[in-house]
Amino acid sequence: MKSSAGLHFKTYFLILLMVIFGPLGNVLLGKGMKGMPPATSGIVQQILDLIPRILASGTIWLGIASLIAFFVAYMLVLSWADYSYVQPASSAAYGMVALLAHFMLREVVTPLRWMGVILICFGVLVVGQTPPRTTEQN
């Protein structure tokens, strides 16, 4: 197993970017989709119906931009760190989602759901104590 301060720093930094941009993108998409009536036709038609809606919504475009930033950080960190490390470590984003959903979208977040979010964050701390990389680089 390989581990170093530099490796940890750049891994944590990129995961931090993921934790910021991932939830922000999801919340913006949620906000953009919220005002649209659900389609009543088939699944394929429902997906096709989404495309013109996306093109017409600035909020959804902002959400997509945030998710692209998230994806770039995600790809970069995966070039050296374990997927089984990055995936759970980045779940700290769920706390962020609950906060954004509560304060931006005015959604009801129950105490039990807050407890779940805290448990998720605790799991992230446990995963964060393992080495980010356990495989040899090419």
Partner 1 sequence: MRTLFFYFLIVCAGTGGELCVARGMKVVGEVKDFRPLALLRLIPRALRIPWMWLGVALMTTAFFSLLAVLATENVSLVVPVTALSYGAGALGGKFFLGEQVTPRRWAGVLLVCAGVALVVIGRG
Q: Which residues bind partner 1 (CB under 8 A)?
A: 1, 23, 26-27, 29-30, 33-34, 36, 38-39, 43, 46-47, 50, 54, 67, 72, 74-76, 78-80, 82-88, 91, 94, 97-98, 101-102, 105, 107-130, 134-135, 137-138
Rounded to a whole number of angstroms, the minimum distance from the CB of residue 37 to partner 1 is 8
The residue (of 21 and 82) whose beta carbon lies closer to partner 1 is 82
Rounded to a whole number of angstroms, the minimum distance from the CB of residue 130 to partner 1 is 5
Bridge partners for 133 per DSSP: 2
> Can you read off the two tokens belonging to residue 102?
């509560």
Rounded to a whole number of angstroms, the minimum distance from the CB of residue 8 to partner 1 is 14
- Helices (H) and strands (E) counted in the chain, each on its own, are 6, 0
In which residue are the tokens 């050296």 written?
80
Rounded to a whole number of angstroms, the minimum distance from the CB of residue 58 to partner 1 is 16
Under DSSP, the state recorded for 3 is -
The residue (of 16 and 119) whose beta carbon lies closer to partner 1 is 119
Contact between 114 and 72 (Cβ < 8 Å): no
Contact between 93 and 54 (Cβ < 8 Å): no
Of 101, 25, 124, 120, which Cα lies nearest the Cα of 70?
25
Rounded to a whole number of angstroms, the minimum distance from the CB of residue 82 to partner 1 is 5
Residue 28, amino acid:
L
> Can you read off the two tokens belonging to residue 120?
């998720």
